[in-house]
Structure 1
Amino acid sequence: MAETMTRDQRLVLWIAVLASFVSFLDGTVVNVALPAIADELGGGLTTQQWVVDAYLVTLGALILVAGSLSDVFGRIRVIVVGLIGFGVTSVAIALAPTAEFLIVTRALQGVAGALLVPSSLALITANFRGPAQARAIGIWTAATTVALIAGPVLGGLSVDFLSWRLVFLINVVPIGVTLWLLAVLRQRDVRRPGAAVDWIGALLCTIGLGGAVFGLIEGQRLGWGSPLIVTTLVVGVLAFAGFIVRQALARDPMMPLSLFRVRNFWTGNVATAFIYAAIALNGLVVVVYLQEGAGLSATVAGLASLPVTILMILLSSRIGALAGKWGPRLFMTTGPLVMAVAAALLLTVNADFDYWWQVLPSMVVFGLGLAITVAPLTAAILGAIDPSRSGIASAINNAVARVAGLIAIAMLAVIVGGALDLRGFHQAAIVTAVLMAIGGIVSFLGIRNPPKETADAPPVVEKSEDI
């Protein structure tokens, strides 16, 4: 790596990795702490849902507008603001006196997190070209995967031996290092002339997601016929419909609808919605049930999914190479179906709990399916779009994945029947398996393998009328 990169490129790559690591780490570390948070601050399952979804609402709503902010104010400035905001809100969450205060600060943390991932990738694409860019993105992906290992383990250790509050302070060190590297870089920021931020679109998207999520989470408690629930659901649906209309009419839309005329792009995003909803549901349910239902410590619960991450690290690059050779369709079909089998294996969990025979087989099969799926899915979606629009295409796909997880977590109480007991755990496993199976079927029916490339021919990119 050092031989092929300049000093500035190495710094840029480290900055991009660490900035994204902060956001990814927070997504994996918080699940382990949910039972301890609910025990101390109260609120039960509803508090646990909101701790996760308050972050995802603002993150999912604003991750698209972050690209526009980078164009208007500069990528480096946006990353700096995101890092400082993430650090400040992390400290505020660690000091939270009530569940309500924690949920509000989690929402503010989601705003900061939305600035980090798209801007980090944009920083890479601005400083690398050709094969070097693909390699840099590959290194970024592999390095940020470490967060999947570090999050549950560090979170579990903090909860068991110190306090759940320290879970949210883990981010402070990588934030400080990243800010220092940005100061060392001294790179001149780049802004796109004439770029504008679609604030109306961002507001409509936030109201749409917020209204829908509030209704789905609180509907179980207040009753689905409650005027408050009906009103928030209707407002949410109407606002999100307004967001879609706005994207069709805006001069600089956050989500260019023309991209969805590309078959592999729209099909891949539909598959992403089902697959990542299942991943979010499975990740939350397993780690919480292992603590509250099976009685495992937070540390052991965090380690329980370690086989998934290990298989991801070992197999992802190899699967990506095979998908490049054979096309993504086979992998995008097979991987989710394998994960559906893994979710079904969790039905073997019973009152006489045994991790090694009841949970570990599911984790191994799930890790295999996830490794088969992720790289081909990303390649199919971004490979279908002209490279000049890969940034917004990546942001859209990231937003789809986050929003899908947000909705799955919002419906958790409905899925498990109000309580995450053994029966609720089995119901969540069934829903996870169904969502994964649908993702595989969508991929089989919709994804098309790109034409074989000759040694000298450039890749063939499927285009819409406006691309």
Structure 2
Amino acid sequence: MTDSTPSAGKLDAGLLRVAAVVIIGAVMAILDTTVVNVALPVLTLEFHTSFDTIQWIATGYMLALATVIPVTGWASDRFGTKRLYMMAIVLFLAGSVLAGMAWNIESLIIFRVLQGLGGGMLMPAGMTILTKAAGPERVGRVMSVLGVPMLLGPIGGPILGGWLVDEVSWRWIFYINVPIGVVALVLAWRLLPADDPQPAERFDFLGMLMLSPGLAALIFGVSKIPGAGGISATDVWLPIVAGVVLIAGFIVRATKIANPLIDLSLFGNREFSISVLATAFFAMSFFGAMLLFPAYFSMVHGEPALQSGLLLAPQGIGAMITMPIAGMLADKIGVRKVVLPGLALIIAGMLVFTQVEADTPYWQLLGALGVLGLGMGATMMPIMSAALRTLTNRTVARATTSMNIVQQTAGAIGGAIMSIILAGLLAGQFGVPTAQGQVAASAALMNPQTHNQAAVLVADSFASTFLWALILVAVCVVPALFLPGARQQVSSAPSGDGDQEDENKDAKPVMLGH
């Protein structure tokens, strides 16, 4: 008899419809993490405030994402992923409309936090929906589909934000979410398969009060390092220590209770643990470096924000070429055989940026970005799919939550690390305190008499910072060596996960339309 289950064939029409709904929501959330950055100088003038204060428009959103993600796994079980996904869209839309109507900087920051609460649930809930719908043998291909907006966001965001600010109004960087969100909400209601909530488990409220504030405090402390001039400042080390203590307390408690907010027993699965470790180093290195590319074009080559965003296009093009191929190959030949060549491409591209100078030709820079994109498309989503393909449907929601926490936290810390390194190098080059490094560099670049010399010093600082990003990518090779090297046929539960009968039941792919 012919096997007609979805996992036996290609991506069917029903699965593609589910993927389309999830992608629309993902595009909306991911674009909003980058579209605001280009508008920060305009908003500084609009609200007559300092750049240190205006930065909280971006940082507040990021912190909200980090704090709400731990709740998503439980909420997926309690309310069902479809209901949770629709609720996340509604929260995000409410925050978008209110942010567009903001009357002062304080209200804008508060409404951005509300936006982040919705945005933080969109990606993990969407990943859970897609992973369950695809089944274990198609998870690589379907995760590659989801990865497209994750790659295009950092490219399309600055371009869209620059155009809206220049041609329309800064308020439309938030209002633009409304039509997209309404379409996503209607399609989610009509196309997403219904799922059964599982209200049996009690919510780990104390765990939430430890982990969410712990993550927020840790990211907050790290993000304050460049402005404070070092880790010795009280508003840096105090939240970092508090965050570490809260997270450590959560881990200790989670090993002793029945239903913790994050199921640490998942890390008893070797493939899952290795994938999480690889994801952490990858997010720290690559997403940290991605923040530097537009800054390099802006400071060293004098490009405006919109043009800097356009120059990142080769990266997205490269990723779009390799991502669907990588997803298909990961399902067929094993994740390791795809990820290692991808990391080699990233290292090759990053190596070019460790040698940048003030007059490095554009063809060389754009070529390196294209190679980076090729490597990115072959690396990020296969690593994440390796963590999920060995799990049963019962554990997928909790696993995607853990993966998203790692990715968001590591990416935020990586961005802060790269900013700290760059700020310190610029300060050393221009002989000023760390907090004034970028200001001094910008002033010297704008002065015609010192521009050429300053450009050389700034380019050297960027090259040294990219070297640290290269080192972190190289470290990522170590856990990647232990990723699955052969095709995995059927998912199995992690160690200690239920009896055989339940395991077999949960391992079945979710049938669309039922």
1:400 CA drift (Å)? 0.9
Tell me if 1:302 matches 2:302.
no
Counterpart of 1:399 in structure 2 is 405
1:59 CA drift (Å)? 1.3
Distance change in 2, residues 1:122/1:381 (3 Å):
closer
Counterpart of 1:329 in structure 2 is 336
User: For 1:459, which of 490, 495, 502 is the aligned residue?
Assistant: 490
Counterpart of 1:230 in structure 2 is 237
Given that 2:321 and 2:374 are in contact with CA atoms closer than 8 Å, whether structure 1 keeps it comes out as: no
For the residues of structure 1 that align with 2:273 and 2:233, how far apart are their CA atoms? 36
1:37 CA drift (Å)? 4.2
For the residues of structure 1 that align with 2:166 and 2:370, how far apart are their CA atoms? 25
**How many correspondences in the alignment?**
457
Distance change in 2, residues 1:172/1:427 (3 Å):
farther
Query: Which string of whole-angstrom CA distances, capped at 9 and with x for unpartnered residues, describes residues 245-265 of structure 1?
Result: 232234322321111122221
For the residues of structure 1 that align with 2:382 and 2:16, how far apart are their CA atoms? 26
User: For 1:21, which of 12, 16, 27 is the aligned residue?
Assistant: 27
For the residues of structure 1 that align with 2:407 and 2:299, how far apart are their CA atoms? 27
Counterpart of 2:62 in structure 1 is 56
Given that 2:141 and 2:328 are in contact with CA atoms closer than 8 Å, whether structure 1 keeps it comes out as: no
Tell me if 1:158 matches 2:164.
yes
For the residues of structure 1 that align with 2:288 and 2:160, how far apart are their CA atoms? 21
Counterpart of 2:450 in structure 1 is none
Counterpart of 2:268 in structure 1 is 261
User: For 1:177, which of 177, 180, 183 is the aligned residue?
Assistant: 183
The residue type equivalent to 1:261 in the other structure is G
Tell me if 1:91 matches 2:122.
no
For the residues of structure 1 that align with 2:329 and 2:471, how far apart are their CA atoms? 27
Tell me if 1:430 matches 2:467.
yes
1:342 CA drift (Å)? 1.9
Query: Which string of whole-angstrom CA distances, capped at 9 and with x for unpartnered residues, describes residues 376-395 of structure 1?
Result: 31232222333542332222
Distance change in 2, residues 1:208/1:132 (3 Å):
closer
Distance change in 2, residues 1:261/1:356 (3 Å):
same
**SS at structure 2 position matched to 1:115:** helix
1:234 CA drift (Å)? 1.8
Counterpart of 1:30 in structure 2 is 36
Distance change in 2, residues 1:250/1:97 (3 Å):
farther
For the residues of structure 1 that align with 2:478 and 2:11, how far apart are their CA atoms? 44
Tell me if 1:285 matches 2:285.
no
For the residues of structure 1 that align with 2:137 and 2:220, how far apart are their CA atoms? 44
When Rg is computed on C-alpha atoms for both structures, the one with the higher figure is 2
Counterpart of 1:442 in structure 2 is 479
Given that 1:31 and 1:287 are in contact with CA atoms closer than 8 Å, whether structure 2 keeps it comes out as: no
Query: Which string of whole-angstrom CA distances, capped at 9 and with x for unpartnered residues, describes residues 44-82 of structure 1?
Result: 3x4575443322222123223112112222333322321
For the residues of structure 2 that align with 1:295 and 1:3, how far apart are their CA atoms? 45
Counterpart of 2:446 in structure 1 is none
Given that 2:288 and 2:416 are in contact with CA atoms closer than 8 Å, whether structure 1 keeps it comes out as: no
Greater alpha carbon shift after TM alignment, 197-206 vs 399-408: 197-206
1:86 CA drift (Å)? 0.9
Unaligned stretches of 5+ in structure 2?
A: 1-5, 425-433, 442-457, 499-514
Distance change in 2, residues 1:22/1:290 (3 Å):
same
**Coordinate RMSD, CA, aligned:** 3.2
Query: Which string of whole-angstrom CA distances, capped at 9 and with x for unpartnered residues, describes residues 69-120 of structure 1?
Result: 1222233332232112111222333344555544443333221112212222
Distance change in 2, residues 1:114/1:311 (3 Å):
same
For the residues of structure 1 that align with 2:285 and 2:167, how far apart are their CA atoms? 31
For the residues of structure 1 that align with 2:41 and 2:363, how far apart are their CA atoms? 23
**SS at structure 2 position matched to 1:117:** helix
Counterpart of 1:43 in structure 2 is 50
1:11 CA drift (Å)? 5.6
Unaligned stretches of 5+ in structure 1?
A: none
Given that 1:58 and 1:206 are in contact with CA atoms closer than 8 Å, whether structure 2 keeps it comes out as: no
Give the % identical residues. Answer: 29
